[in-house]
Structure formats: structure tokens, C-alpha cells
Amino acid sequence: MADFETHEFDVLVIGAGGAGLRAAIESAVLGQRTAIVCKSLLGKAHTVMAEGGIAAALSNVYSEDNWRVHFRDTMRGGKMLNNWRMAQLHAQEAPDRVRELEEWGALFDRTEDGRILQRDFGGHRYARLAHVGDRTGLEMIRTLQQRLVALGVDVFQELTVTRLLTDGDRIAGAVGYWRDSGRLVLFRAKAVVLATGGLGKIWAITSNSWEGTGDGHALAMYAGADMIDMEFVQFHPTGMVWPPSVRGILVTEGVRGDGGTLRNQSGERFMFRYIPPMFAAETADSEEEADRWYDDRQHARRTPDLLPRDEVARAINAEVRAGRGSPHGGVFLDIASRRPAEYIKRRLPSMYHQFKELAGVDITREPMEVGPTCHYAMGGMRVDAETGASNVAGLYGAGEVTGGMHGSNRLGGNSLSDLVVFGRRAGMGAAQHAAGLQAVPALDSSQASACDESMEAPFRGDGKENPYTLHRELQDLMQVNVGIIRTDSDMRAALAGIAGLRERATRVKVEGGAAYNPGWHLAIDLGHMLTVAEAATRSALERKESRGGHTRDDFPNASGEFAKVNVVVRRAADGAFSVSQESLPAMPAELQRLFEED
Amino acid sequence: MAQASTALERRYGDTQRTDRWWLEPLLVGSGLLIFVVYSTVSGVLGEYWAFETEHGLYLSPFFEPLIHPEFLPDWFSPAILILWAPIGFRTTCYYYRRAYYRAYFLSPPACAVREPAGSYSGEGVFPFVLQNAHRWFMYVALLFIPILWNGAIRSFWLDGEGIGIGLGSVLLTVNAALLTMYTIGCHSLRHWVAGGLNQFSRTPLRRLRRRLWEIFTIANEHHRLWAWTSLIIVGVTDLYVHLVASEVVTDPNTWSGPI
Amino acid sequence: MPTAHLRVWRGTDDGEYVEYEVEYDEGMVVLDVVHRLQATQTPDLAVRWNCKAGKCGSCSAEINGKPRLQCMQRMELYPEGETITLAPLKTFPIIRDLVTNVAWNYDQARAMPELRLRPADADGNRRMAQIDIDRGQEFHKCIECYICQDVCHVIRDHPENMAGFAGPRFFVQLASIAMHPLDTNTRRATVDHGFGLDYCNITKCCTDVCPEGIHITDNAIIPLKERRVDEFHDPLRIIARKLTGRG
């Protein structure tokens, strides 16, 4: 066996975004020896990109708000495919998690009477998002990071985990490598929490950073975990479209929450033409009513600019396809003509800065050009709502790597709250599991050496494939064939393409050495991406309907049959995928009653 | 592809900056030097520091307020009793510190340009620890504001004959105004008025202090501008009073008849 | 397509500058050009990055001698045809190419005092007025790119000072703790001599380079120095303390 640097902990948390940090904090507070591992430097995880806010029914701005309304909004936004228990816990616990962030140092914007201010967001009935201008994610990650540091949790930065280790059917640890040296590291642990975030880097136009390669999704599958809802991918309606180098970078929904509106080429507010029946009763049908709503919730209904993200993304896509788009293939997002410059700069400072610096656009004077960008994976590891436990003993998960909480479509602002609500629960679940074990499970050294060999392969051999080229081709393949609008034939083409890329990936050749070599790192990540791309595509083929973040040209409507099931995908040890449909957990009657008024 | 290269800079003055980074310290250093030389000559050796007519009085700000007891010898300039205060205030001022640490101590000469000194111990050691006296000088500087305004107003006042205006009165007024801006933009004053508070909202008095802090902050953001303009105007005003008093130039004003 | 002439530091401490020519498109930033270089000519070129939108603070490097975020420097800023020099942050040990070991900063983070807030109100809320937190919110804009740490001459030119100096980024954090409206740490906890505030001679390079536009010197460092003056050097307070017999 190769020379592994070895560490032993009770709980190993993989990923240091909001979910991972919160899980590690909880585990450490419960007295478990805890370590956290992250691919980037601590505090750089994708959570910093979250802008608009954290959804929690604090009822500071609208006293009518409560967890039931938040729960109902979340389920409806997810087209009722959510795990009801997760949605319930999320809505009930989010306010406490927000107050806890405040206790640890977060400085949210304030109401007049000094409480936490909340802003409007798509799909939320009331102004509900606690926020810090448009940099809420940064506030959250820094707060959690400082809390983690104060607790003295062991941090392994710039370390990529490549495999989970198992002892029979339970977790025994993980293997990874230091990015700066390539040195292999072996963690022995009683419990592992996956909090690795998303997989957006499989698509070409994405808001995700290099880290979003679906590692955790792949690690879970390799370890035998069940994955659900992998077909549901959120294309955020508003990403930057120009200049090309920034295509996909996120433009917060807060722009619309604070008064911005979408317009097509001719200046028309086209969203009024795309109000789906499910939301018609509560959505304004005239511009006058929509504009009035910002100040008068009693007598006006909400603007269709703030429909759930899937609806808005599809509408923008349709406008562009119909030739009514903006010059660079998006639509216009206009706040300049609707709000004073000072207000825009105060509420949306980082958007102002981002457009000014990167696109040369002054958003207080001109409209932005925006279009859909791959943003978030609703699907992921199936976990127990209370504890974050997967079907693999000792393997826990929280955040974007898990599925169920958001159903087929996530509401804006529900991600940050998801991270802290379920990060805490997964940390607790893992800590309790670890506390119940006498010793760290035994280690199967053959698993670790197999990882070692597969990682060294790209340096050997006489292959000629460039990892950057293969990655680009995968992104283009998925963008074209498994994008916002999908068909059976396109997705079959994607599967064939993935198989071809997988074969070529065996011939990847990496130049240079093991020290901080991004080409090599990408070659390793590529395997995860191909696995995850295949799982997403196979799930998408299975769901023969359109719902949330899964829209099919060949099955354009929602189906009653598919409304009752999750698509579950599993990967066998030999690499074969199996896809099945399994019934959703049944919602208790008292919660069902919340939806009867529809 | 691969071509000749140089190692990362390690010596004084080494930098990869391609702009004219040396220009700012050069200009700042020259400007300060000119002022120091001028004010020494004028304040310590100079004569003709006041210009008194039958109507108005122009007193050079270097000598304001005039302290000129009989027992002092002739060679002792009254400016010496005054100048320690503004010199102390400006020497310990956070802006001037930046300026002269960069221009004279080359510590650093400019950002990301290697400095010459082999070791560095900052403001914790003598003599730099004396910078903490800025608060003391700030209190004294506050006393000077009404005194300088008094001098400015006096220059408009025609003894028993109402109000007049001369170029000297204008200069003295602008001088008092710029010095006021420089003083209320002082970091120490800005801190003193409310910066030490953590809860502005607790009482009406604290809210008022916060309001003042906001106003002082606006002045503070341009502290460099006030530092330079007030420095130049005080020099120019002093020079002007000398020139008028020594009858090198004639002051255009409303009391000497048409200009 | 215009061509960029890049001069990029390759290797570790004893590395060298290597020149490359890379074609680029309209609207590209320096980081895009580095990525294109990586994808087409130098697959092992080490560069750290994440968000590519100026929000995470990963891609700090020295561009023509000035510490910058590579993702926020548009190519239009540099005259076409002129060589652009790209170097790693010089204050920290080089890992490889444009990547440095910034662990020292995380050591400083561990030394920061922990916030200790007063208990919440009876209804579970903590009431804080916007005017009481807006200073703190400015400090919280920090993306920890460590460009201010890199440019600070106290350690850039005198690495021996690293042992007793937290650096501008952490003065900002100290200021944020010191000014928190509900914190109960003593005043002296945040102006402690151990953080090396005295080393700062307020030459303001940190403020000049901050990509978030935080007024590090004026709003964080000088107020901390002034709080220390309050504690130890203010004549009126000294007299007041003598008269009241406190402190």
C-alpha cells in the first residue's frame, strides 16, 4: 500500500460550505473529535456566492407569516415532490438557525425597530429572507467559519476526498489527497458527513465554481447510497450573459425582489404571459397591480417576476427561442428605470459592482442582460429528515448533495436555510452515531490502494487526452442534450456521449508533477462528473413528464403518476446504474389540509 | 516559449510596478520641504507679520493669537509661542504621518515597492510612540478654530465705521474655513465625538453625536485635501500679510478707495 | 482576436518568469486568459480560484507588481501589446506558480477573540439598530483575499514581524468585534498589544488595494488606535479617572 498520511476522528465532515461548517460545529459541540475537509481554502466554498438571503418565517416584516406558510410555499415551489418532513423541519427550525447565526456574529440588515429585516423572493408569500445587502452567503460562511475556528475543529484545507472507505456495509473513513503536494491522506472515522455541494460544472453555462463537480454525489454512489431526484436541476433564470467570459455568473433574485422587472426586446414585461394555473390565484395579472404589490400586500397580488425559478427560467428560454431576446441572447432585467440609483446601490451593492467591473454596465442607468444558468441540484443522496442518515451506516449528508428537501424545484433563499437546518441535524446524527460506536471501524487496505492506483494512472501510460478538453466536451454535451428543455432522443445521445467520454477518460494524460497540478486534479474530478452526469441523465429519462427543474418537450405536462414517486438511482459496485420509481413518503392529514384551499 | 527571467524582487526599490510610483512621494516630499523651509524663515526670522491700518488689522495666522509680552527679547519671534501647536497637530496627524513615512522614511516609498530599512518596529517605539499625543494636539487645535475665526472677522471690521473687505480679509477667512475643515476632518476628533460608542441608538444624545460623526466623516474622507489646502493657504496668507505689511504690495480693499 | 503577452512566474521560490502568448476575447479578465493558457499550453499551471466574480477572494496575485484579484481585472485595463507580468503574492511562501501558502493568515484567525453577546430579549430577538451595525457590515464585506496582508510592508519587507502582527485583515475583524453593539468583551481585549497594531504606520496600502473598498485604515485601524488612546493616552480621560478614582 502506498504511503498514506493517516488521521483518525470520530466524525469527518467533507465540504466546508454552510452545511459542512454547521455540521462540524454541531458535532464538535457534542464532544466528538471532528475534522472538516475542503477542496478550497476555508471560507471560499460556493456558499459565498449566495446573495439574496436566508428564508425563515421570523415574521418580522409580516406578522401573518409562520412556519406553515413557509412549508406550504416550499412544497408548492417543489411541485409537491419534496420530502414533507424535511420541508416541515426546515420551515420550523429556520428561524432559530438564523437567530443563532446572529448570536455568532452575523449582522443582518435591520427593521426600523431593530429586528432582522426580511426581503421578498420568488415563490415566498411574504417577505421572508433575512439578508445582508446582496452578500448574505458571505456573511453566513464567515460567521460559521469563525465559530468553527473558535471551537478548535481540525481543518484540512485544499484536500480533495476521492473515495469513501467502507467496512462491510458501514462507513470506515475516506481517502483523499493534498492538492498542494499530491500526498495521499487516509482518514479513519466512525461517521462521515457529506456536505460537498453541487454538480453544476457538468453544464457549460453555470453559476458554479470549479468545485461543483458532484464529488459528493459520486462518492455517495460509489459507497452504495441511494440517490433521489437526480433529474431535477435548477436553471436559475438570471445569470449574466455578456461578456462571454462571465456567462452564467449569478444575478441575484433580490434584483426582482427589490423592484426589478424582466422585459423582452420590445420592452414588454413578458412574465404576465407565463403565469401557470397553479399560481394564477395569487399572481398579479396587470402591471399596475404588480407594481402596487411592493407596497400593498393586502390589496394587490405579487408580481409574476417573482414566480418560482423554474417558471421564470422557462419563460425566459421561450422568449429567447421566439426571437424576442436581448442582443446577446438573454432578456433584459431592468431596475434602473424603476428604483432610484441610491436605493439600488444600497440594496444591491455587489450586483452594482459586478456589472460595473465585469460587463461595463451601470445597473442604476441601464438594464442588465440575463439568461438561465445552471445553478443548483435538487437531487442527491436520500437521507433521513431527522438525522441526515443515508442508507449506508455511518454516512450522513446535508445541503445540496442531498435530495428531497426541495422536491423538483428549490425556492430562492431556501438553500441557505437548508444548509444550517440540516447541517446541524446531520452533525447531530453523525455525532450520535459515532458516540454509539466503541471503536473506529476496521479498514480494508485494498480499497485505499485501489484509489492510489487510479489516481496515479493519468501520469502513466501513453494516452493523449487533455482533461480540459474532455471536461469542455462533457459540459457542451449536457448543455445541449440535458439542459432546460429535454427529449428522449437528446438524452439517449447524451448517454452515448458520456460512454464515449468515459472511454476516452481512461487515456487522459497529465503533464507535470503531483504538486498543485490543476490538470491532474481535473482528471480526477472528471470521473466523478461522468458518474454524476450519467445518473442525472438516466433519472431524467425515467421521468416521463415535466415538473419543476425537469422539462421535457416530449412530455410537456405534469403527470399524476409521476407526482407520487421519486426516481431513485443506484450504482452497483461494477459501475452499472439501476433506476427505479419509489413512492413518496405520505404526508400526514393535518399538513395536507394546508393545501386544500388550492 | 521559455525565455530569460529574473527572480522575484528582494532588494530595495525592487518592484514589478510599471507605473510612476515614485512620483507621489517625490511631490509630497518636495511640497512638505518647501513649507517647512518657508515657515521657519517666515515665523522665526521674519518681520512684518501684521498689517494695521487705521481701519482693519491683518495678522498672519502664524502669529494668531498674538502673544508678545514686553520682557521677551527682540529677536524672539512671537510665532514660536504659537507654531508648536499646529506643527504638533500636523506632525502627529494620521494623514501627514502617511505622507512623510512614505516620502522621507521610505517606509514604504510606495505600495508593493521594497523599502530600504533592514528592520522595522513601527509606532510602538520612541520617538514614534509620541504619535499618541495627537489627541492632546487635537484638543489644542480645537481652541485655535475660534481664535482664527476671530482674526478673520476682525479683518472685516472697520473700527467704528462698519464693515469693509480687502483681499487680506478674504485670505484670512478662507484660511480659517480650510483650517476648520482640516480640524473637523481629524481622525482623532471623529473618534472622539462618537467613534468610541458601540450603540449610537441608545439615547438621543448618542444619536446626536452619531449625526456629528457622520458629518465629520464626510470631512474625514477628504482629509488629505484639507491637509494640503489648509497648509497652502496658511502659507500664502502669511506671505501676503508680510508683503502688504512691508509695502511690497498694496492690499486691494474697500476702505482705501476704488481699486 | 487580440493576443496577450504574459510573463508568468513558474515554479517555487527558485522558479523563473516564463513568457507566453495567449489569444483572448472581448470582455475577458486576466483569470480567463490564465485559464485559456492552462487549457491550451500549460495544463499544470497552478492558479487558485473559485467564484470568478470577486466574491470569494481566492485568485489573488500580483499583476504588474500590484496585488489584485485576477478575476476582476479586465484585459482592457492593459494596453494591447504590452507584457503583463503575473506573480504570486510575495509576502507568503510560494507553493507553485501563482499559488502561495496563506496558512499564516489562518493562524491569525485562530488568535482572534470570540464574540460574546449579551443575552437576547425575552422574545428571542436581539435588537440592534441599523446605525449600530453599519460599521460592522462594512468590515464584514471582507472576502479574505489577503491582498491587504500581502501588500503590508510591515511583513512584506520584514517577515520577522509576522510573529507579532495580525495584519490589516484581522484588524478589520478586531474592529468588527470591538464595535459590535452587543458584545461584552472588554475594550482592552480588542486593542491588545499582542495583535501588533503598533506596527502599522498607517501608510494605507491595505486600503488602496482592497477589492471590496473597505476603508481599512480610516474605519478599522485608526479607530482601534484611537480606542487605545482612549484607554491610555487621553489627557482629559486621565484627569477624569484621577478625579473619579476609577480605572
Question: Global pTM?
Answer: 0.94
Q: Is C230 exposed, middle or buried (0-12, 13-18, 19+ CB in 10 A)?
A: middle
| pLDDT (mean) for A486-499 | 97
Q: Residue written as cell 429567447?
A: A320
- State the catalytic residues of A: 236, 256
Which chain C residue is nearest to residue B123, measuring alpha carbons? C198
Compare CB distances from C127 to A49, A115, A142 and report the shortest one's residue: A115
- Answer yes or no: are the C-beta atoms of A228 and A48 closer than 8 Å: no
Compare CB distances from A48 to C39, C56, C112 and report the shortest one's residue: C56
Strand partners, A160: A177
Strand partners, A7: A187
Sign of the alpha-carbon torsion through A313, A314, A316, A320: positive
pLDDT per position as a tens digit, A55-70: 999 999 999 999 999 9
Using CA atoms, how far residue A435 sits from A29, A148, B184, in Å, is: 13, 20, 62
Mutate to test the interface with A, among C36, C37, C47, C56 (most CBs of A within 10 A): C56
Give the Cα separation of A67 and A73 in Å (integer): 10
What residues contact A365, with CB distance under 8 A and at least 6 apart? A336, A341
pLDDT per position as a tens digit, A454-465: 888 888 878 899
| pLDDT (mean) for C155-174 | 96
Compare CB distances from A357 to C28, C72, C109 and report the shortest one's residue: C72
Tell me the domain boundaries of chain A: 239-373, 457-561
pLDDT per position as a tens digit, C36-47: 999 999 999 999
What dihedral do alpha carbons B193, B197, B201, B207 form, nearest 10°? 0
Nearest by Cα to A157 from C48, C170, C169, C97: C48
- Residues of chain A with pLDDT > 90, as a percent, come to 89
Q: Do the Cβ atoms of A49 and C55 come within 8 Å?
A: yes
Q: How many CA atoms lie within 13 A of A388 on its CB side?
A: 38
Give the Cα separation of A420 and A94 in Å (integer): 8
Q: Do the Cβ atoms of B132 and C160 come within 8 Å?
A: no
Mean pLDDT, chain A, whole residue set: 95
* Cell reading at A455: 489516481
Q: Does C77 touch chain A (CB under 8 A)?
A: no
What one-letter code names the amino acid at A457? A
Give the Cα separation of A323 and B126 in Å (integer): 73
Tell me the domain boundaries of chain B: 22-114+126-245
Neighbours of chain C (3+ CB pairs under 8 A): A, B
pLDDT per position as a tens digit, C83-123: 999 999 999 999 999 999 999 999 999 999 999 999 999 99
Sign of the alpha-carbon torsion through C135, C140, C141, C145: positive
- Residues of chain A with pLDDT > 70, as a percent, come to 99
So what's the pLDDT on residue A449?
A: 84
ipTM over the 0.90 cut-off? yes
So what's the pLDDT on residue B258?
A: 53
Q: Do the Cβ atoms of B119 and C18 come within 8 Å?
A: no
Which chain B residue is nearest to residue C62, measuring alpha carbons? B16
Q: Which architecture does CATH list for A457-561?
A: Up-down Bundle (1.20)
So what's the pLDDT on residue B9?
A: 54
Give the Cα separation of A22 and A140 in Å (integer): 10
So what's the pLDDT on residue B54?
A: 58
So what's the pLDDT on residue A502?
A: 96
In angstroms, how far is CA A227 from the centroid of its own chain? 15
Query: For chain C, where are the E strands, in sequence order?
Result: 3-10, 16-23, 60-63, 66-69, 83-87, 94-96, 99-100
Give the Cα separation of A66 and A309 in Å (integer): 22
- Answer yes or no: are the C-beta atoms of A429 and A390 closer than 8 Å: no
Give the Cα separation of A256 and A339 in Å (integer): 11
Give the Cα separation of A335 and A354 in Å (integer): 15
- Answer yes or no: are the C-beta atoms of C197 and C228 closer than 8 Å: yes
Q: Which residue ranges of chain B lie beneath pLDDT 70?
A: 1-13, 53-56, 158-161, 257-259
pLDDT per position as a tens digit, A424-470: 999 999 999 999 999 999 888 888 888 888 888 888 878 899 999 99
What residues contact A338, with CB distance under 8 A and at least 6 apart? A259, A260, A261
Q: Does C141 touch chain A (CB under 8 A)?
A: yes
Q: Is B71 exposed, middle or buried (0-12, 13-18, 19+ CB in 10 A)?
A: exposed
pLDDT per position as a tens digit, A120-171: 999 999 999 999 998 999 999 999 999 999 999 999 999 999 999 999 889 9
| pLDDT (mean) for C12-32 | 93
Which chain C residue is nearest to residue A355, measuring alpha carbons? C53
Q: Do the Cβ atoms of C205 and B210 come within 8 Å?
A: no
Sign of the alpha-carbon torsion through B98, B103, B105, B110: positive
So what's the pLDDT on residue B160?
A: 64
pLDDT per position as a tens digit, A10-56: 999 999 999 999 999 999 999 999 999 999 999 999 999 988 999 99
Q: How distant is the Cα of C172 from the closest Cα of chain B, in angstroms?
A: 15
| pLDDT (mean) for C205-232 | 95
So what's the pLDDT on residue B2?
A: 35
So what's the pLDDT on residue B5?
A: 35
pLDDT at C59 > cutoff 50: yes
Phi (first) and psi of residue B125, to 5 degrees? -120, 160
What residues contact A216, with CB distance under 8 A and at least 6 apart? A14, A15, A194, A195, A196, A197, A380, A381, A397, A401
End-to-end CA distance of chain C: 69
- Answer yes or no: are the C-beta atoms of A54 and A127 closer than 8 Å: no
So what's the pLDDT on residue B236?
A: 95
So what's the pLDDT on residue B4?
A: 32
Give the Cα separation of B249 and C89 in Å (integer): 58
Give the Cα separation of A159 and C109 in Å (integer): 20
Give the Cα separation of A27 and A524 in Å (integer): 30
Q: Do the Cβ atoms of C62 and B7 come within 8 Å?
A: no
For chains B and C, CB pairs below 8 A equal 146
Q: Does C189 touch chain A (CB under 8 A)?
A: no
Q: Do the Cβ atoms of C125 and A243 come within 8 Å?
A: no
Task: State how beta strands C83-87 and C60-63 pair.
Answer: antiparallel
Give the Cα separation of A149 and A515 in Å (integer): 27
Q: Does A10 touch chain C (CB under 8 A)?
A: no
- Residues of chain C with pLDDT > 70, as a percent, come to 99
What dihedral do alpha carbons C203, C208, C212, C217 form, nearest 10°? 20
Give the Cα separation of C247 and C231 in Å (integer): 9
Class of domain A239-373: alpha beta
Q: Do the Cβ atoms of B18 and C154 come within 8 Å?
A: no
Give the Cα separation of A22 and A13 in Å (integer): 10
